[in-house]
Structure 1
Amino acid sequence: MRRFLLFLMTLMTFLSVNAQTNTGNIEGVITTPEGNPVPNVNVTIKGKKKHVVTNEQGHFEFNEIPYGEYILVYSFEGETSQEIPVTVPPVSTETSKYNLSLNARELKEVIVRIGGSINQGTARIGKSNIPIMDLPQAVTIIGQSTIENQQAQRLSDVIKNVNGVYLGGARASTQETFYARGYNLGNTNTFKNGFRVNSGAMPEMSAIESVEVLKGGAALLYGNVAPGGIVNMVTKKPRFNFGGEVNMRVGSYDLYKPSVDIYGPISQSVAFRLNGTYEKANSYRDEVHSERYYVNPSLLFKLGEKTKLLVQGDYLQHEFTPDFGIGTMNAEASRPTATGGKRVTPVSRNTFFGAPWQYAKTTQATASIELNHQFNDSWALNALGGFQNYERDYFSTERIQADINGKWKRPLGKTNNKEDYVTGQLNLNGDVKTGSIGHKLLIGADLEKVTSTALASDIATVVPNGIYDSINLLDPTMYVRRTDMPQASWITSTKNPVTRFGAYVQDLVSLSEKFKLLAGVRWSYQQANRSKATTLATNAVKEGAVFQIDKAFSPRIGLVYQPTDHTTAFASYSNSFSPNSGMDIDSNTLKPSVIDQFEIGIKNDFFDGLLSANLTVYRIINNNLSQQIQVFKNGDPVQGATTLRELTGQTTSDGIEVDLKSQPIKGWDILAGYSYNNMRYTKTSGRFGSYVEGERLVNSPAHTANATTFYTFQNGAVKGLKVGAGVYYVGERNAGWNTTYSDNNGALNDRLFQVKGFATADVSAGYTYQKWSLLAKLANITNTFNYYVHENYSINPIPPRSFVVTAAFKF
């Protein structure tokens, strides 16, 4: 029997007959081979406008169906479907068994999306069919139900459910910067459907089905990624049953957001899906506005019994007011040997220091194809190709850094940044045996080409030194603010092309029933070509001096011990590299920094999956941190700033994470987590330009925690009523810039300040009746005041108490 029939779905169809009306009912239960019910299976009667979804017990029912022969169609998220003939009334009373053309991977993905254990299923971001329980690494998947229940507007609303991953900054409110285990997750660590995407565009959550977070080492699978983890957004896919949703969301500060999601079959072999939304809002910040347009079409082709092709695209246009928040002022030095010192400007949360005309216009378009082919029972091929175009046109006052009395000369910034990104991936998965030893083998390669283009303007000459005017942050009446928009032109265009290639092999070896070994290695090649700066007035081209090639092997090894079917203990090690910009004292490009990651943990499912409890402990060491050189070749110490760099110093990140999830009774979901992290400098020279040993890095709180719960009443007069609450905590953290030595005698350049920890709480309530639903949320009910900090010039207060309401109709 073919391998894609690994599991057998047992359908027990009972037909109750009404002799007077010649109608009957069709009902059944869908279970796994182990007898576990499978909820959220789409069941339709072909050619009829009849559609149901199996409940938590895997049960479905059609009522008052006229006598006759029908075709039932079953599908999971539209990935595959099966047609089963049934007759009303039944031709026999014997229980029938039917094969459903789904493989184990698809089934587990569905189960993990709909709730239950956090350790079941597979994660798309893992590139192979390794079950989460077999993976020697922490994985968190936030499913669609959580995204919908919390009415997530931005990716940060989803990420706050993942312990150890947190929003660390929101520079000018133009983008969200996340951190994991002390490390910044920038463009290289953010993915959509397995493709790297520019994190400068805030993703649209209405099209997201789930968000996967693979913590720790991911260099083997994705090459040049920062340590700490990667984030992958999975968009909604086409389905072969017709349906959809229209909804309207309104909220505080004039938020209006209509959305539509429609899917269905075009033919027996082609299905479609179309998501779209429009969003317009003001802000709790004075003079700040936002407008977004988004569309996300996709097509699924069944090219044969073993081959599927998925084509996806999306387009986002976002126009908004860049906002650097409330900024900082100079303060008294915090240490006797230090210079500098900063404090947050003591003004209200809504105070806006920008100009009325400033703007940021962001567009992002992506397109991708994904081909999946099953050669036989053992081997499958996954091929992907993708393209992304990103652009931000920006003109604004910026960098709010006032003197000790609040006086600030407002600088202007005018930039235009573009990115063209082309990528391809090829992954061959094998599930084979050598004797009694099983292997889950992954062989793959990926290629990326990124061309970044930056336009520079003549704003520094249009307004002297780029200074717009002067204001006082504490006394608005001291100066008359300028309100006109200067007319600046583009003068240069600079292109920076980067090519990345990687080849990798990985094998999960089942040594015995209880022991498994995951081992693999990647070879990475990255080439940064010389930049080309074009003077637009003359078309003269100037080529940059730096041409850099980085090559490295990234190994990974992990041991898994499973004493029972419900417990996994693991230990793993991985190695990666991080490219460094700049030149050393001999004018050579810097070698990459080498990073070691160690992780041990335990994953537990208790009470048949009703409770999951995971514990992870890790250490990440950046062995050769890039720093400014401290001594010239003649032995003289460096007395001032220089662009020359050297690989000295070290950072170490130690931490512990706890994940909990439970569904104690039907309709009640609980998700919680806690993390502790100690990210600090562990080896420095103590001389000019180096960091201070033992100091915690900026934007790395020691403690973060989250807890959320939702309950939907199942019976009685309040059936369909939903209530929920969430609490989220971010601990005290350093902000600004980490301290450096300003000379070789122990004097410090201190631009560091502390930000207190804070907790926010949300409450939600809603009601669902048949196809209609209404859900309301009151966020930050305690009206907590705190802020996100980018360096020391973009201090963005968190939103105050606010509400949002979503009305939806599902068809």
Structure 2
Amino acid sequence: MLLSISTFAQQANQDTLKSLELAPVTVTVTGTRNIYKIDSSTTVSKLPLKDLENPQVYNTISKIVLKDQVITNLNNALKNATGITRLWESTGRGGDGAEFYSMRGFAVQPTMTNGMPNISNGTTDPVNIENIEVIKGPSGTLYGGSLIAYGGLINIVTKKPYETFGGEVGYVAGSYGLNRYTADINIPLSKNVFARVNAAYHYENSFQDAGFNKAFVIAPSFKIVANDKLTFLINTEFKNSEGANAPMIFLNRYAPLSFHSLDLFEKSYKISYTSNSLTMKNPSFNIQTQALYKLSNNWTSQTVLSRSNTKTNGYYHYLWDASNGDEFTRYISKRNGETNTTDIQQNFIGNFNMGKMKNKLLIGLDYLNSQITNNSTGWVADGIVSLVNQTDSGSLTTQGVDNLLINSAEGNSIVETKIMSAYVSDVINFTPKISVMLSLRVDNFSGKPLWATDEIKSQTTLSPKLGLVYQPILNQLSLFANYMNGFTNLAPAEVSDINGNNPTLKIFEPEQANQYEFGAKANLYKDKISLTASYYNILVSNKTMTDPTNVNNIIQGGEVESKGFELSVVTNPIKGLNIITGFSHNDNKVTKDAADGGYLGLRTEESGPANLFNFWTTYRVQNEKLKGLSFGFGANYASEFNTLNRSTTGSFTLPSYTIFNALIGYSANNFSLNLKLDNIGNTKYYTGWSTVTPQRLRAISLGMSYKF
């Protein structure tokens, strides 16, 4: 069976690709190749580097993995990456309505597509995904500080046009009313113009008594070869989605916990406390255009324009702990907002020699404009929920909620930020075995950080990155070390003296995250075993705290340390057997806090479980009589963690869990059939971030596809 893997290499003409040291790749799956491994990336470092040459750690999840596992959502896809787990499901609310994950002890959302900003208030559909790059560590030097986290970032690499006719159609049916139709069609429009369209319709109910998600996605993309030096790429995605989500169950952050057992939540595991009439709509649109121009044999120009628009329109509600041991108050609002981002990048990529030293040089300019508008109602109380008695006194109809909200208004507001940046990164090969990466970013921020009411007129930040790679066995084993930086611009705040007099506006310096890391990467036994192992230490400084001598003042100086170990393995040990597995341990705590701040010495609530393990294996039967038959098995483990963890309130622990999944598949004559069983043991488990959220129970799905 032939599988065409579209990489960045397929996006430009051959001469341009040659200058980037990439070429189109066709993979034949014969059972002897490490098919889950992708050896290089052009977006992780914005330079064409193989994994062994890159001093930064990242995991790549290929479209082959997505197909083998009958993946229908981003969360299940990311379970194949080491050290990442979901904290919050998508809320759909404006500004930050996408899913939240935890990586290396810090919360992160999927905000990048093809290395460019792509904001969504909803979920990410996998239909247009070529592969997913989970990039580890604070990456402010190349990606800035406004859209990524100190633990890393999630970058979606989309499918791109190729130069022959082909495609695939598919259908997935499953538990909880799952119906999913997909299409992927590539058409050469002329000798130099190629088009590809990916589309999906998805409908699925919740495992609880109410709740659903439906979406339609269409993603046309084009490749235009203007001449032998200039190529244009146009990638678009339109998504129209609507869903009814169970309300978040928040523990009270400001009062001592009134319960310490999960029994309260076990009783109402399958109760949603919502209705299918309280829906949220999140339409979105993204377009990215690239112009790749070959300046010379050694230099390429990349000009990129990226625009995204995402909207929020509907009901968002949550349950707030009343601190009486049982009851939760529902607060509800009708959200109406919009987020627009525009990003323009100009990159020059060079590949040249200085004496005997080889250089891969990136010089880039970046302008990012983000505007968030809000025209929502205010928040009103809508009844009391008792988890013990499983009762709800609130209104769960649109008419009832609208009557509650009729005189409520949050007011109209606009938050706009502008960021202008310049960066340079040079990978110097002193010898074929020794290379150094030297990178620096200058970032100028102006505007209002999210939820701020006052502006920052101008704030300039430097962000360096250093990396060292030594390959004792060339192209098989590399030892690496890195120093990486990340930063966040903080919202201004009004402060006063201890008596509440003389109020002034206080501007804060950006938070800073500095990581050092060292480890090893290996491709052994003719690439049958690909391994990455590393130890990292991230120190976040300049966090804001309440002044211990003046409750009306805010000072900087808080610190969080997050350190740990990660091991990732992708292997093809015997013919037909492919394995992805990984283990991570994270030690995270607040090392400096204000007196009575409530966090000192404690693990942060966004850090998630300290230990995570992921495993997936697929075996394609090699016996000629059973050719086409395959089996898959996987597991995900997470240790217990404190979703609420403050000395002022106490700690609430969510238990550890292990989830098992299995698959049986058959393919022949371009047809494929895959039967997947998720959560075999029907295990009840929870995630959270000062919240308690039940996760989906056992589900079965049948995926069918035809390739032409």
TM-score, structure 1 length as denominator? Answer: 0.79
Cα drift, residue 476 of structure 1: 4.0
Q: Which amino acid aligns with 2:210?
A: E
Partner of 1:86: none
* Residues 288 and 758 (structure 1), Cα distance of their counterparts in 2 relative to 1, 3 Å cut: same
Contact 2:137 2:150 in 1 (8 A): yes
2: distance between equivalents of 1:312 and 1:261?
Answer: 14
Tell me whether 1:409 sits opposite 2:329 in the alignment: yes
Give the secondary structure class of the aligned counterpart of 2:150: coil
Instruction: Kindly indicate whether the alpha-carbon contact (under 8 Å) linking 2:184 and 2:199 is maintained by their aligned counterparts in 1.
Output: yes
Pair 1:418–1:339, CA change in 2 (3 A): same
1: CA distance between counterparts of 2:108 and 2:240?
A: 23
Greater RCO, 1 or 2 (C-alpha within 8 Å, sep 6+): 2
Is the aligned partner of 1:468 residue 2:377? no
Deviations 1:694-717 (A, max 9, x none): 445444311001111112224412
* Counterpart for residue 498 of structure 2: none
| Pairing 1:685-764 to 2, within 5 Å after superposition | 685=594, 687-689=595-597, 691-736=599-644, 738-739=645-646, 748-764=647-663
Name 2:511's counterpart in structure 1. 593
Give the match's secondary structure for 1:304: coil
Deviation at 1:544, TM superposition (A): 4.7
Provide the C-alpha distance between the structure 2 equivalents of 1:649 and 1:530, rounded to a whole number of angstroms: 19
Contact 2:303–2:346 (CA<8 Å) still a contact in 1? yes
- Which residue among 450, 469, 489 is the counterpart of 1:560? 469
How far apart in 2 are the matches of 1:208 and 1:360?
A: 24
Aligned residues of 2:90 and 2:121 also touching (Cα < 8 A): no
Contact persistence 2:454–2:491 (CA under 8 A): no
The DSSP-based 3-state class of the residue aligned with 1:623 is: strand
- In the other structure, the counterpart of 2:114 is 193
- 8 Å CA contact 1:629–1:689 kept in 2: the answer is no
Verify: 1:771 aligned to 2:670, yes or no: yes
The answer on whether the counterparts of 2:36 and 2:62 sit within 8 Å (CA) in structure 1 is no
- Bigger radius of gyration, 1 or 2? 1
Q: Deviations for 1:462-510, whole angstroms, at most 9, x for unmatched residues? A: xxxx122234222246858664332445662100110111101111111
Contact 1:699–1:735 (CA under 8 A) maintained in structure 2: no
Aligned equivalents of 2:108, 2:129: Cα separation in 1: 19
The whole-number CA distance in structure 1 between the counterparts of 2:52 and 2:662 is: 33
Map 1:156-555; keep pairs closer than 5 Å: 156-170=75-89, 172=91, 175-186=98-109, 190-224=111-145, 225-324=148-247, 343-344=261-262, 345-346=264-265, 347-355=267-275, 357-457=277-377, 459=378, 466-476=380-390, 483=397, 484-487=400-403, 488=405, 492-529=411-448, 544-555=453-464
Q: 1:575/1:124 Cα in 2 relative to 1: closer, same or farther (>3 Å)?
A: closer
Partner Cα separation in structure 2 for residue 491 and residue 664 of structure 1: 59
User: Residue 704 of structure 2 corresponds to which residue in structure 1?
Assistant: 807
CA offset at residue 731 of structure 1? 1.4
Aligned residues: 683
Find the counterpart in structure 2 of residue 154 from structure 1: 73
Q: TM-score, normalised on structure 2?
A: 0.90
Distance in 1 between residues matched to 2:251 and 2:689, nearest whole Å: 11
Q: Structure 2 regions of 5+ residues with no counterpart?
A: 496-503
Look up the SS of the partner of 1:148 in the other structure: helix
1:262 partner amino acid: I
* TM superposition shift of 1:193: 1.4
Post-superposition Cα deviations, 1:295-315, rounded to whole Å, max 9, x if no partner, equal 100111011112211111111
- Asked if the contact 1:572–1:599 (Cα under 8 Å) also holds between the matched residues in 2, the reply is yes
- Give 2:383's aligned amino acid: D
In structure 2, C-alpha distance between the alignment counterparts of 1:598 and 1:584, rounded to whole Å: 35
Contact 1:330–1:404 under 8 Å retained in 2: no
| Conserved? CA contact 2:3–2:28, under 8 Å | no
Aligned to 1:46: none
Residue 280 to residue 759, structure 1, CA distance change in 2 (3 Å)? same
Q: Quick one: which of 781, 790, 801 aligns to 2:680?
A: 781
Aligned partner of residue 127 in structure 2, secondary structure: helix
CA RMSD of aligned residues (A): 3.0
Quote how far apart the aligned CAs of 1:431 are.
0.8
Runs of 4+ more than 6 Å apart = 74-77, 108-114
Counterpart residue type for residue 621 of structure 1: L
Q: Partner amino acid for 2:538?
A: I
Q: Map of 1:11-22 to 2, 5 A cutoff? A: none
Q: Distance in 2 between matches of 1:520 and 1:475?
A: 59
Check 1:482–1:503 CA distance in 2 against 1; reply closer, same or farther (3 A cut).
Answer: closer
Does the CA-based 8 Å contact 1:116-1:609 persist in structure 2? Answer: no
Change (3 A) 1:159 1:482: closer
Counterpart of 1:131 in structure 2 is 50
Q: Secondary structure at the match of 1:310?
A: strand
> Residues 674 and 40 from structure 1, CA distance in 2 versus in 1: closer, same or farther, beyond 3 angstroms?
same
* AA matched with 1:503: A
The code of the aligned residue for 2:384 comes to S
Aligned pair in 2 of structure 1 residues 359, 751: CA closer, same or farther (>3 Å)?
farther
Distance 1:800 1:722 in 2: 25
Q: Which residue of structure 2 lines up, in the alignment, with residue 609 of structure 1? A: 527
The one-letter code matched in structure 2 to 1:802 is A
* 1:659 counterpart residue number: 568
What do the CA deviations read for 1:265-323 (whole angstroms, capped 9, x no partner)?
00010000011111112111111122111110011101111221111111111100021
Contact 1:325 1:353 in 2 (8 A): no
Cα 1:721/1:103, change in 2 over 3 Å: farther
Q: What is the aligned counterpart of 1:681 among 583, 590, 594?
A: 590
SS of residue in 2 equivalent to 1:486: helix
Is this contact kept in 1: 2:13–2:228, CA < 8 A? no
Offset of residue 787 of structure 1:
1.1
- Taking a change above 3 Å as real, the CA distance of residues 475 and 247 of structure 1, as seen in their structure-2 partners, is same
Matched residues in 2 for 1:681 and 1:446: separation? 33
- Name the CA distance, whole Å, in 1 between partners of 2:465 and 2:640: 33
Partner SS, residue 175 of structure 1: coil
Aligned match of 2:479: 569
Paired with 1:678 and 1:251, the residues of 2 have a C-alpha distance of: 38
Distance 2:87 2:111 in 1: 15
